Amino acid sequence: MEATGVSLGKAALGGALGYATSKAAEEIALQLGVERDVNFIKNELQMIQSFLMTADEEQIQNKVLTTWVKQIGALAYKVEDSLMDFGLHSEKKSFLGCIPHNPCDQRRIAKDVKQLRAEVEDVSNRNLRYRLIKESSGSEPTMAEQQANIATAAMFGINEASLTALEHKKSSEVDLNQLITSKDVNLRVIAMWGTSGDLGKTSAINELYDDPKVMKRFEFRAWIRLMHPFNPQEFLQSLVRQFYENSHDDVAKPSFGPQEFLRSLVRQFYESSLDEVGKPEKETSVGAVLAKMEKMDQSDLVRVFNAQLCGNSYLVVIDDLSTLVEWHWIRKYFPDNKKQSRIIISTQQAEIASLCTEKPYQVSMFKQLSYDQTIYLFHKKNSEEASFTDVDQKLEAMRASCSANPFSDPNKVTSTEKNTAVPTDEIQEGNQERNNPGEEKVHDITGRKKFDRSRTMALTDEVLYGRETEKSVLIEIIAQRDHSHGCKVISVWGMGGLGKTTLVRSIYRSQQLNDWKRAWATVLRPFNPDVLLRDLALQLQNTIQEDPAGLTETAAQTRSISVMNVQELKEEVARVLKTKMCLLVLDDILSTSEWDLVKSCLDNAGRIIVTTREKNIAEHCSKEHMYHLKGLKDDAALDLFIKKVFKNNINKNDIAPAMMEQARLTLQKCDGLPLAISTIGGFLATKPKNAIEWKKINDNISIELVINPELRTIKTILMRSYDGLPYHLKAVFLYMSIFPEDHRIRWGRLVRRWIAEGYSRDVHGMTAVELCCRYFDELLDRSMILPGEGIDQYIQKINSCQLHDMIREICISKAMEENFVFTLEEGCCLSDTQGAIRHLVIGSNWKRDKDVFERILDLSHLRSMTVFGEWRSFFISDNMRFLRVLDLEDTIGLRDHHLDKIGQLHHLKYLSLRGCRCILYLPDSLQNLRHLQTLDVRGTHIIELPRTITNLSKLQHLRADGVLNRGRDIKGEDMVDKYLGTDTCDTCSVLLSRGYHFLRPQVLDAGLNRYDIFNLYRFHDRNLHGVILPIGIGKLKALHALGVADVSRRNGNATLKEVGMLTQLRKLKVGGVNYSNVNELWSAIAGHNQLQSLSVEIGDLSEQRNELDGCLGEGLLPPNSLESLTLHGKLVNATKWIHKLQNLSKLVLRFSNLGEDDGIQALGVLPNMVVLCLRSCSFKGTQLRFQRSTFQILMVLELQELDNLQLVLFEEDTMPKLELLQICGCQGLKDISRMPALKSLKEIRLHYSENVKKEVERQVAEHMTHVRLKHY
């Protein structure tokens, strides 16, 4: 939570700084005379931002810092809002041009700025009072270094345990009771260290400490928790008290037991306690003697203590030992009296544990508390184990390995409450040595090293549900001969919980790979290449030694791995890899740098499998052999779920329908994630097997993931993906909690909102959109979001995404923790609102309570509002002064008059009315939204934009389509037909025939008023090709996207001339083009060198002259920057200009009427064409032949509604990279010839093409079994 707070604080601060450092803010400050104060605020925020970056890099996380960061975030929002609000006042010009219009405003603003400066200064000074920002010193390690050192020390202990177990073929587990009660007469020191600080250690020791057998075994017992700073005298006094208190008369004691010892102490203390005249004092009770003992000199106390202790056995527990200095003081008090005495040390530092134990020592796992919490014991090796290696050399080598870690320094280990070496496997089993017949004996230390991952097992090796195809494909890749004789690297990537480790382990153990020598290494955190190489070297060396062919190796070649330095390890690994054909697995690589640090010495490996969560890492390791592991298919997911719940004791057909329905809801939430399916299924196996119990889980899955220890593993595993996000990605990821479950999130909608919120800006030559694209791609590559389905997924251009249900639960819980997003929905807790709400979501199932909305919610600092479901007029409030994003897409019941107040939202940057079918006109007050960047009114009945829109100088995206795209049915969509009927009426006839609607608005339904009815009857012409743009649209110089512009009307040519003035356009859609204005269109856009996407539609297909390209040729060409081109109309000169579009990657044609020779083959030479869609009469022939060596990089081919088409023929070497073939509505198509020539084809989709269905099925069954065939 602390890390999330820092990330969101930095994001908020970045937005404030972005505006504070802008030219607009500087100009405002200068005009209002507050530039000194604004500069101070800016500079102070920059210093705070630098600190937060340092805190994030050094992983400084504590409650005080988190609170301070939240205060910074709130202040950052206030600074940005205030500066933008001041800007609004500066825009109020009087008729004389004075700024501001009212001098009182200037005084008020100056006062407000000074108040703002005082608040910034106070927050900045707060760190001095609480010492949040500490002066850096070269001698003091940073928090990140401390954590790295602790984790490195943890690895030192764990790796030692693993090496011990592997070298001597013994289990690394040990029983503490056996160590304490062993017959060894020598004093033994046993050190206990855990991966989660003190967790579990105290109870583990106490269980043995109070054991009657242990109490009987030791004559003296004491448990001392060290106080800091260490006081030797208090330590001894505590020991004596406990020796006395823990002695029992009924316990058989030697001739000189505890009672005699205490009597002796009393006697000696009594004899040494004389008054001033040499007479003994009268008080001789034990209490009095102990009281005088506290006054004794320390040397006398030690002398008496040692004199009496040497003849008795003792058990002493020393809790919370933190330094070697303390240990050196303590150790000298305890003589080795050869009485089987024991000292147990509990420490939070692995290095301290290793240095307190007698040499040679070994590390053993004592207890597994959970999959990420383990307790280890450091204890002396027995003589047999000690003879294998020189201890001093081994210890020095292990210390060298720590110092070789580029991220840490072993001399800087410090004490913290949480010392963890986090395991990185996601699904791992406990490993044992295998001696299966016919199988190579492989030593795999990953199961013993670190933590037991058995609790996160989602799949079993015996049955990999739904993974048979993946397993066979990867084994085939490994087994394929490589003519280059180099190392083949296979990257397996995907989100956490998919079972990457389990799948790869099944492949690793496959008998089909018996000829390979194998080694498996799972990467520890923090990453240490020395530890990784040592593990690999040891495994490889042992497999070679066990091979009869490898017994001739010399002793020098097979010397102990533990004494090698880093360079020697690299040489040893490289040497072994040269001798045998080896398969290596590197499990859970988390960065490209980790791979780069070890790959140089692995060049001689035959095959390497790398597992990772991120696509970019997988691609860095192996561009040629990347395998994206996805979720289980529906059938396999259901089979796994049933097996986990019923233990294979039931057939799925015997499950009650109500239970099956709940099972499918559960699987929908799991979305093919084996970890989630297995964990939830295992939990339900312990519950009553009925639909009611299963429904409880489905209804409360969010809470169950948090409070249910049996399901918490899912969240823990998935949280690692979230924790690994950089701060800028955490903010944009949490922003996605706004969208409801299973909602398809359009790329454009998300990106425009990110920009409006300030998460992305133009920086260092990169536009805000390009930066958002990078954020989006990073989230995809990290599997935090899932790509939407469609043809674009084949060309790596994702137009939509979704959140995995389990990932979404993480997203929502984190957003709620930070008060980042508040959702009004059924059952929501209004007490969860803490202070001002920044992002408000109104869910479709909320009851629309006006009193709650207006009185309980603090909307004074609201940044965004998103409405799903029905609209209410009270949703727009006067309190929303700082609203930036108003997203009403697909809202039901929104009417024209509801938008009257929209002009009051002066800070609005994003306005979407998309899909609001009952909106016919935009209000004139829209001109007040001078910061508006995005206006989306697609899917409405708006046919004409108001003239006032030309005042929106910052508008970048203007998207409207008239009535071209009505889309799916929405309640109230038939409003126009209902009140207009089918007649076209002028104003007079409307007033005469429908006047009762104006006189009696109460008879209307759907929330209409008189104003709406008037607009409704003005909507008299639906035969449009877009929206009519106002005169002056050319003034919007910032426009990047425009369309659909209808140029068929009275001002069509004038509109095209103004479009020619919009030189920043990247995307343009034009409709209603005809013979009289087509030349003006191409002339207007010929010089638009930044235009990337163009769509042109002919107005009337029935016209005799309906060519789109009649004027195109050598003298006039489309912009060569085009990447996407959509043409709806006849093409007659395609061969003259199409080859000039060298950057074109996507082409969509309708009604083009192309022939085989003059058009289609001309498209085949375009060097960057990856998507070709031929639709509705775009091809006039009966045979479509794709010739040899054409369409060399085409990946998607779509043939739709080509009525004349009868045959499609693919010649050899055509479309070598085609992956998707989609055929829809080609009723006359009878044959698709030579499909097997399409070597890369992955999927065929057939829709309403019955005549060719059987032929396609035959070819797939006989020659293309790897191709998916889908029918619609």
Q: Which residues contact 461 (CB under 8 A, 6 or more apart)?
A: 429, 502, 505, 506, 509
Looking at the domain assignment, is residue 1171 inside a domain?
yes
Q: Is 530 a domain residue?
A: yes
Q: Which helix (H) or strand (E) holds 693?
A: helix 691-699
CB atoms closer than 10 angstroms to residue 986: 9
Question: Is 1099 in the same domain as 1238?
Answer: yes
3-state secondary structure of 502: helix
Whole-angstrom distance, CA of residue 323 vs CA of residue 343: 16
Same-domain pairing of 361 and 222 = yes
In a domain, 112, yes or no: yes
Q: Could you tell me if 1206 and 1183 are in contact, meaning their C-beta atoms sit under 8 angstroms apart?
A: yes
Among 676, 693, 723, the domain boundary falls at 723
Q: Any idea what the Cα angle at residue 47 is, between residues 44 and 53, rounded to 5°?
A: 140
Residues 638 and 585 in one domain: no
Do 347 and 320 meet the contact criterion of CB atoms below 8 Å apart? yes
Q: Are 289 and 270 in contact (CB under 8 A)?
A: yes
pLDDT for the residue 323: 82
Bond into 100 cis (ω within 30): yes
595 lies in the same domain as 657: no
Supply the DSSP symbol for 1159.
Answer: I
Residues 691 and 572 in one domain: no
Contacts of 591 (CB under 8 A, 6+ apart): 527, 617
Q: Which of 723, 756, 790 is the last residue of a domain?
A: 723
Across residues 39-49, what is the average pLDDT? 73
Tell me how many degrees the CA angle 942-944-946 measures, rounded to the nearest 5.
110
Res. 852: pLDDT tops 60: yes
d(CA 401, CA 389) in angstroms, rounded, equals 17
Q: Which of 28, 42, 10, 22 lies closest to 763 in space, CA to CA?
A: 22
51/827 Cα distance (integer angstroms)? 40
Per-residue model confidence as pLDDT tens digits over 534-544: 888 888 877 76
CB burial of residue 314 (10 Å; 0-12, 13-18, 19+): buried
β-strand pairing of 1183-1186 with 1207-1210: parallel
Strand intervals (E) in 1047-1176:
1067-1073, 1093-1098, 1124-1128, 1146-1150, 1171-1175
Compute the distance between CA of residue 1199 and CA of residue 1205 in angstroms, rounded to an integer. Answer: 10
* 746 three-class SS: strand
Q: Is 238 in the same domain as 113?
A: no
CA distance 422 to 150: 11
For the stretch 1128-1170, pLDDT in tens is: 999 998 989 999 999 999 999 999 998 876 678 889 999 999 9
Pull the structure tokens for residue 1267: 């191709």
Residue 415 has pLDDT above 80, yes or no: no
Q: Which DSSP letter does residue 270 get? A: H
Residue 949: per-residue pLDDT: 95
Pick the last residue of a domain from 601, 628, 655: 628
Question: Which pLDDT band holds residue 720 (cuts at 50, 70, 90)?
Answer: confident
Note whether residue 354 is domain-resident.
yes
The predicted-structure confidence for 177-234, as pLDDT tens digits, reads as follows 888 888 888 899 999 887 655 667 787 888 888 888 888 888 888 888 888 777 777 7
Q: List, for residues 385-405, the tens digit of each pLDDT value.
A: 433 334 344 434 444 443 433
Helices 674-684 and 634-646 meet at what angle, rounded to 10? 30
Picking from 278, 301, 306, the residue whose alpha carbon sits closest to that of residue 289 is: 301
In terms of domains, do 610 and 672 share one?
Answer: no
Q: What share of the chain is helix, strand, coil (3-state, %, to 5)?
A: 45, 15, 40
For the chain, give the mean pLDDT: 76
Whether the CB-CB separation of 1141 and 1169 falls below 8 Å is answered with no
Identify whether the C-beta of residue 489 lies closer than 8 Å to the C-beta of residue 619: no
Q: What is the pLDDT of residue 295?
A: 57
**Do 1044 and 943 contact (CB within 8 A), yes or no?**
no
The contacts of residue 957 (CB under 8 Å, 6+ apart) are 752, 933, 934, 935, 936, 1039, 1040, 1041
Structural domain contains residue 645? yes
Q: Is residue 210 part of a domain?
A: yes
Q: Are residues 552 and 667 in the same domain?
A: no
User: Sheet of 1231-1233: strands edge to edge?
Assistant: 1183-1186, 1207-1210, 1231-1233
> How far apart are alpha carbons 134 and 137 in whole angstroms?
9
Query: For 776-833, what is each residue's pLDDT tens digit?
Result: 999 988 888 888 876 666 666 788 898 888 888 889 888 888 788 999 988 787 766 6
- Shared domain for 364 and 466, answered yes or no, is no
Crossing angle, helix 2-20 and helix 727-734, to 10 degrees? 90
Same domain membership, residue 714 and residue 600: no
Using one digit for the tens of pLDDT, what is the confidence trace for 452-506?
333 343 334 334 677 888 888 898 888 887 666 678 999 999 988 888 888 898 8
Q: Is the same domain home to 598 and 649?
A: no
Determine the average pLDDT of the residues in 408-419.
Answer: 33
pLDDT attached to residue 91: 57
The DSSP output letter for 1028 is B
Tokens for 1240?
Answer: 């890369």
Q: Band the pLDDT of 283: cuts 50, 70, 90.
A: very low
**Phi/psi zone of residue 634: left (φ > 0), alpha (ψ -120 to 50 degrees), beta?**
alpha
pLDDT, tens digit, 9 for 90 and up, residues 587-618: 989 889 999 988 888 888 889 999 999 999 99
DSSP string, 791-817: GGGGGT---EEE--HHHHHHHHHHHHH
Kindly write down the DSSP assignment for every residue of 583-622, as one continuous string. Answer: EEEEE----HHHHHHHHGGGTT-SEEEEEES-HHHHHHH-
Asked if residue 1223 and residue 1123 are part of one domain, the reply reads: yes
Closest CA to 1087 of 1110, 1113, 1064, 1055: 1064
Residue 1267 lies in a domain: yes
Check pLDDT > 60 for residue 574.
Answer: yes
Half-sphere exposure of 267 (CA within 13 A, CB side): 7
What's the chain's length in residues? Answer: 1272
Q: For residues 740 and 728, what is the distance between their CA atoms, to the nearest angstrom?
A: 22
Cα 419 from Cα 148, distance rounded (Å): 10
Where does 91-142 have alpha helices with state H? 103-130
In this structure, what CATH number is given to the domain that contains residue 659? 1.10.8
Within a domain: 1020:
no
CATH number at residue 504: 3.40.50.300
* Residues paired with residue 585 on neighbouring β-strands, in sequence order: 520, 609
| pTM: predicted TM-score of the whole model, two decimal places | 0.71
Burial class for 219, CB neighbours closer than 10 Å (0-12, 13-18, 19+): buried
Q: What does the DSSP 8-state code read for residue 897?
A: G
Distance separating alpha carbons of residues 1032 and 948, to the nearest angstrom: 9
Q: How many domains does the chain have?
A: 5
Structural domain that includes position 210? 169-246+317-387
Which regions of 639-798 does DSSP assign to beta strands (E)? 745-746, 786-787
Instruction: Report whether pLDDT(872) > 90.
Output: yes
Q: Which residue reads 């209000």 in tokens? A: 923
Which helix (H) or strand (E) element contains residue 842?
A: strand 839-842
CB 1056 within 8 Å of CB 1031: no
More confident residue, 261 or 1254: 1254
Cα dihedral across residues 1205, 1206, 1211, 1217: positive or negative: positive
